[in-house]
Chain A
Amino acid sequence: MAQVTLRKIVKEYEGGVQAVKGIDLDIADHEFVVLVGPSGCGKSTTLRMIAGLEEITSGDIAIGGALVNDIPPRDRDIAMVFQNYALYPHMTVYDNMAFGLMLRKFDKGEIRRRVENAARILDIGMLLDRKPKALSGGQRQRVAMGRAIVRDPKVFLFDEPLSNLDAKLRVQMRTEIKKVHQTVKTTTVYVTHDQIEAMTLADRVVVMNHGVIEQVGPPQELYHHPATKFVAGFIGSPAMNFIPVRLEQGGAALNLELPGGIVLPVPADRTRRYTPHIGRELLFGLRPEHLTEVRPNDHRENMAVFEAVPEVVEPMGMETLLHFWMEGAEICARIDPATPAEPGRGLPLAADMNQMHLIDPKTDRVL
């Protein structure tokens, strides 16, 4: 087991495409780190550079303190689980898992012990004699993980291992992966484009966009304190609302002037932070879950109430989503399903201003 260090990693493909543009990342021993971001942001490329499947254009990668830039994959002591599992079709499940150990000249008894141990952890003991084509998707996924576990490598690398599974199985295998990590504690780098997977699995989430790291942090921190507009919009579902506003002084406090003449007060504890930006056009960010129906006897502070006319009402069961437009900005609110709401009829909404974010539209950074 080991820590992984990336220093100024750049990957330029032939033809000049810069897939990764100089990223720095420190992954601690035993840590579960998830790389997340939209399609094409360079997640897989980064992972494959750690694996040694892709050469790095410049920068340094160290695993367990040793520089591995020029070390082939087989000598990096890593194991990888692929999106399409990449099981050897002509080998039984047992041989699939034993293959790496056989190539490394482990003795028969040790191989058997390790394979059986992994099979027990993953609950695939009864499948050991089958060929991959006789397995279901979830079972193949387990075998692919078993192949990684038996090697007892320094680092596990996962590239979207669950995206070929149906929704229900995905949730189940997600828990499984978490359980396995808690058992074997191997340092793990996990790539996904699914932010829910990232949030539930990770000790720390790395949000990537266009080949750069936008922010690194524990899931809760990314949720509550996004550093950039991209992270604010990417983490959380439905996505955060962004409304153009002007920040104005209103007596001792600050106010947000929304389009349509709505004025929302800024909580007093933010005054110091926002004062330098008075008079500027900014982006006001508020998650749908912080824009709710007005609750009687709500004694929370800094709740701002305004009237909105929903154009679309989406009942989801445990909540109802309202969509309305405010000077071109689409706003989503999450209300209690018991609240009567119908398209075209105005209702009062409460914005929890304690959860507000202000974004500088010039730099896209959260103030």
Chain B
Amino acid sequence: MSATTATVGGGIARKVGSLHRERRWALVTAYISLVFSAIIMLAPPFYMLITSLKTSAEIADQKGNPWIVRNPTLMNYWELMTDKLFQGFFINSVIVTVIVVVLTMVISVLAAFALARMRFFGSQVLATGVFLTYLVPDTLLFIPLYQIVGGLGLLNSIWGLVLVYPTLTVPFCTWIMIGYFASIPKELDEAALIDGANWMQMLTKIFIPVALPGIIAATIFAFTVSWAAFVYPTAFVTTPDQMPLTIGVVSQLVRGDTFAWGQIMAGALLAALPPVIVYAFLMDYYIAGLTAGATKG
């Protein structure tokens, strides 16, 4: 932007200057709204953090500014992390999430590959149908699913969750992957076919590496959904030993009408940590524009 150098001149400079001013206004407006929404988004987690660092007495204290912590302590965290029950919730969440993510990715990559590339009778309808199933909310599905899970004898078991979470993750991940696979130029498969690849080699050696950004996006989605699932575990799990973090924290840390606020906040923050780490870690590998150079362009 050489607008500043142009202010030397006469008529033209005014025009360029006004362009410059317009741009500055656009920037200012953008920053104001960004800062505004950042404050709104970050206020709850910040309040959680502050509260988790307080003793129960300080939380209950009516005096003073609730946004400031006077005697910070890690006691809430320590108590949670040494609590066998909380450790169990964590392990349950990890087991369920890892298995669900792996299952989801295997199913949706294979399904998307078939739907995007192998033209067969009804493939279009099926692709749309897959997406439509995603639009049915889990608050509606858990009633019939309760019957199914119960029929299979998997109520109150993390394996019941492993079974039902993919109904949330597979449709959307398949949809994402169909989009990514469809954007891979047709000539790439044809070149691979001529080079001697079979369908499986085409998938593993061409499609998956080329669509890696999409696979990472879908993985993040599947991870987030199964880590944060709330409705299904609330409905299907009743004993603490089978609970994942999301419901474990709220159901076990609220005893009667006593809210262990410090621990609840610490638990929620600890529960939110893995997604944050996963995001930060995978973003490094989220190499956008990986397909650039496949064809001219």
Contact = CB atoms under 8 A, between A and B. Distances in A.
Partners in one complex: yes
Given A88-B188, A90-B210, A100 B294 contact: no
Given A82-B187, A103-B201, A87 B194 contact: no
Centre residue among B191, B291, B292 by max chain A CB count within 10 A: B191
Contact of A89 (B195, B197, B198, B291): B291
A132 B185 CA distance: 15
Contacts of A133: 292-293
A89 B294 CA distance: 5
A73 B194 contact: yes
B294 A87 contact: yes
Contact of B292 (A73, A89, A164): A89
B209 to A, nearest CB: 4
A135 B293 contact: yes
A132 to B, nearest CB: 4
Contact of B210 (A84, A89, A140): A89
Contacts of A147: 191, 195
A137 B201 CA distance: 28
A73 B195 CA distance: 8
A89 B183 CA distance: 13
Interface string B276-297: 0000000000000011111110
B291 A84 contact: no
Interface string B189-201: 0111111111001
Contact of A86 (B191, B196, B198, B290): B191
A241 B34 CA distance: 68
B206 interface: yes
A146 to B, nearest CB: 13
A273 B210 CA distance: 63
Centre residue among B197, B210, B294 by max chain A CB count within 10 A: B294
B195 A74 contact: yes
A86 B190 contact: yes
Contact of A84 (B185, B192, B193, B209): B185
Contacts of B185: 84, 86
Centre residue among A72, A99, A164 by max chain B CB count within 10 A: A99
B296 A84 contact: yes
A150 B291 CA distance: 24
A100 B190 CA distance: 12
Contacts of A140: 293, 296
Contacts of A89: 210, 290-294
A321 interface: no
Contacts of A79: 194
B201 A82 contact: no
A85 B295 contact: yes
A89 B192 CA distance: 12
A295 interface: no
Contact of A103 (B197, B209, B291): B197
Contact of B193 (A53, A134, A151): A53
Interface in A145-183: 147, 151, 164
A119 to B, nearest CB: 17
A82 B193 CA distance: 13
Contacts of A82: 187, 190-191
A51 interface: yes
Nearest to A130: B293
A85 B296 contact: yes
A73 B293 contact: no
Contact of B195 (A84, A100, A131): A100
Nearest to B287: A90
Given A84-B187, A90-B210, A132 B294 contact: yes
Complex A-B, nearest 8 residue pairs according to Cβ-Cβ distance, in ascending order: A133-B293, A100-B195, A86-B187, A84-B295, A132-B293, A89-B294, A103-B196, A74-B196
25 contacts: A51-B190, A51-B194, A53-B193, A73-B190, A73-B193, A74-B194, A74-B197, A78-B194, A79-B194, A80-B190, A80-B191, A86-B185, A86-B187, A86-B188, A86-B191, A86-B295, A87-B191, A87-B295, A88-B191, A90-B210, A103-B196, A103-B201, A131-B293, A132-B294, A133-B292
Interface of B: 185, 187-188, 190-198, 201, 205-206, 209-210, 212, 290-296
